[in-house]
Amino acid sequence: MPAPKKTSGAVSVESAREQLKAAALRCTPSRIAILRLLSQSDQPLSHSDVAERLRESGFDPSTAYRALIELADTGLLIRLDIGDQIRRYEFKHVTPKTAATGKRAHDDREHPHFVCLDCGHVTCLTDVTVQLPKSRAVGKVTEILLRGHCVNCL
């Protein structure tokens, strides 16, 4: 298993604790470890990705699984469903409190994803903005996916 590409950008233990408190969750070591792991990942991670990395720190897979569900249920993580039966999770980056409204403007980084048809790798396209076409047929868009062949598979 290769190490995550980016190691910068991980939330501190302190800010992970603050997020958990704000979501009324207890600050357990597994929840903190997951928030930190996902906040530094530049791609969504599946349950088995998370379990594997947490195992190295001594957590068992069922603990990791439970913590993932709880964090996603309270909105600290985003669940990603790209239709391949693999549930992936990503960290929900939160913009700092704005002085004007006093509210947190949640997630400034909603973004499309790119899926490679050959290797299944999912990439976050955080620098891409997509203008949704207005259509009466569309109820609610949950995911914007681009499919193709990644640079490694071309």
Residues that bind Zn ion (CB under 5 A): 90, 116, 118-119, 121, 124, 150, 153
Could you tell me the sign of the dihedral formed by the alpha carbons of 64, 70, 76, 79, in that order?
positive
Compare residues 81 and 118 and give the one whose CB is closer to Zn ion: 118
* Distance from C-alpha of 26 to C-alpha of 120, rounded to nearest angstrom: 35
**Cβ 141 to Zn ion shortest distance, Å:** 15
Compare residues 31 and 113 and give the one whose CB is closer to Zn ion: 113
State CA 122 to chain mean position distance: 12
**Cβ 68 to Zn ion shortest distance, Å:** 16
Q: What are the backbone angles phi and psi of residue 51, rounded to the nearest 5°?
A: -60, -40
**Cβ 104 to Zn ion shortest distance, Å:** 20
Compare residues 28 and 46 and give the one whose CB is closer to Zn ion: 46
**Cβ 69 to Zn ion shortest distance, Å:** 19
- Write the burial class of residue 129 (CB in 10 Å: 0-12 exposed, 13-18 middle, 19+ buried): exposed
Compare residues 52 and 107 and give the one whose CB is closer to Zn ion: 107
